[in-house]
Amino acid sequence: MKQAIAYQENAGGIVALLPDGRVEFLHPAIKPLAERMVRGELAPGDVDFDEYILTDPLVDLENFHLSAPAIAFIETTNLCNLKCKHCYAWSGKKREGELSKAQIIDLIDEFAEMGVLQVFLTGGELFAHPNAVELINYAMTKPFSTQVFTNGLLISEEKIAALTPGVSFFISFDTANPTRTIRGKMDFPMLRQCFEWFEKYGHAYRTAISVHRYNLDDVEEIFEWCARMGFPRPQWLETHPIGRALLHPDIVLQPPDIDRVFDIYRRCMDRYSEAPAPELATPGEVQGRPQERLYSVDTIKFCQRLERATGREKCGRSVVYVNSVTARFISVISSRIQVGVSSIPKCSDESRVRSSGAGLRPPWTRPARFGLLPPIAQTPIIGPRRPISSAR
Ligand SMILES: C[S@@+](CC[C@H](N)C(=O)[O-])C[C@H]1O[C@@H](n2cnc3c(N)ncnc32)[C@H](O)[C@@H]1O
Ligand code: SF4
């Protein structure tokens, strides 16, 4: 169990990742307790967070931004053992001026201080980075939830054994038939081996499939294969037309594919949502018995709620992706966040706490004068990607 919760101060209250994986708006009265957790004087398990949940925080939806990202991706390297056709990061070779280990450590510190709730360590291939284990273990010391994206092929038992138990892995593959892969290489025995090591050393894991035109017909088979093997249900990602995928427009899903994509998506979710360990774990919760103690980390759902309420894609700041190219903007973002934090209006006494029994509306329901936004799945102008994401 983590010693502290990840939280950030926002207009309307404190947004926190709770020990059970929920992301909620809390009454500011939680702050002294949260600080005591940081100092190690109080354990998260000793606090009844439900008492502090704001069901209807007073927020100016038109101008609301999180004071820090809810989710941060750190591209630790662009070096990769594969050169997948669809790779948005165009990975393979290192980028010029890649982030140094010290810079990545600084970023991790900065994200923790800002109150980022969930950090994805990604690449390129993280396990191609000489300091992969050290970086993951450093991130695991922080209150945020640490997730690792990997293709799994460079993993060894030694590396997995050296990690602090409770890392959450996304391990990517894209076909049930290795001869049809666009990833360059597939290695099912290695994949299974990784899963065994994750379980043996107390880590959570989940597969990730980037769905594209050439594996759309494989997707149900992949879900079925995972279920048969007792592996977690895959995370469905749609292949976006960016990075190297632009060189291969034939792989990207097209408007005529939409109906089929939805049908397949729905069938996969209907049939396989009950597959073992479908969700990610909060670090520290899985040691010993990973399958039984997993629960979801609701950061993405939280961001979607925010999008729906504010009507703004990613609500300005809910997600950040940092690599050597974008890192130079981070100091600018940070300074804005500093300003934002100092000018955050205090949560008024009128803010309602769930225990008071008042206000059961979900946070950020739009004021009546703006009208309720239609659920994302019914928003026609957004195209096919959002409905799929919203239902994950
Ligand atoms: C860029 S990779 C980095 C981590 C690791 N090398 C891997 O493949 O898992 C992160 C995830 O993004 C997915 N991905 C890559 N390009 C994508 C694209 N154009 N659209 C959607 N997902 C993509 C990959 O399949 C993988 O699941
Ligand atoms: S998707 Fe992952 S494995 Fe494939 S090239 Fe990109 S970074 Fe490498």
Q: Which of 75, 81, 84 to probe ligand 2 with, by most ligand atoms within 8 A of CB? A: 84
> Cβ distance 175 to 215 under 8 Å?
yes
User: Is residue 337 classed as helix, strand or coil in its secondary structure?
Assistant: helix
> Measured from the CB, is residue 23 less than 6 Å from ligand 2?
no
Reply yes or no on whether the pLDDT at 138 is more than 50. yes
Quick one: how many helices (H) and strands (E) in the chain? 10, 10
Give the pLDDT of residue 156.
97
Nearest to 149 by CA among 139, 162, 161, 141: 139
Q: What would the pLDDT profile of 58-85 be if each residue is shown by its tens digit?
A: 778 788 889 999 999 999 999 999 999 9
CB neighbours (10 Å) of residue 316? 14
> Cβ distance 57 to 30 under 8 Å?
no
Give the pLDDT of residue 275.
46
Q: Using the 8-state DSSP alphabet, how is residue 251 labeled?
A: G
Confidence of residue 1 (pLDDT cuts 50, 70, 90): low
> Measured from the CB, is residue 182 less than 6 Å from ligand 2?
no
Which of 277 and 378 is assigned the larger pLDDT?
277
> Measured from the CB, is residue 91 less than 6 Å from ligand 2?
yes
Confidence of residue 274 (pLDDT cuts 50, 70, 90): low
Which of 117 and 227 is assigned the larger pLDDT?
117
Confidence of residue 141 (pLDDT cuts 50, 70, 90): very high
Q: What would the pLDDT profile of 357-387 be if each residue is shown by its tens digit?
A: 222 234 444 433 222 323 322 222 222 222 2
Reply yes or no on whether the pLDDT at 328 is more than 70. no
Calpha distance 209→151 (Å, rounded): 11
Q: What is the mean pLDDT of the chain?
A: 78
Confidence of residue 289 (pLDDT cuts 50, 70, 90): very low
Q: How many residues are recorded in the chain?
A: 392
Give the pLDDT of residue 378.
26
> Measured from the CB, is residue 123 less than 6 Å from ligand 2?
yes
Reply yes or no on whether the pLDDT at 354 is more than 50. no
Q: What would the pLDDT profile of 231-253 be if each residue is shown by its tens digit?
A: 778 889 999 999 999 999 999 99
Q: Which of 73, 74, 78, 80 to probe ligand 2 with, by most ligand atoms within 8 A of CB? A: 80
Q: Which domains does the chain have, with CATH numbers?
A: 6-60+346-365 (no CATH), 71-300 (3.20.20.70)
By CB neighbour count within 10 A (0-12 exposed, 13-18 middle, 19+ buried), where does 310 fall? buried
For residues 13-21, give the mean pLDDT.
93
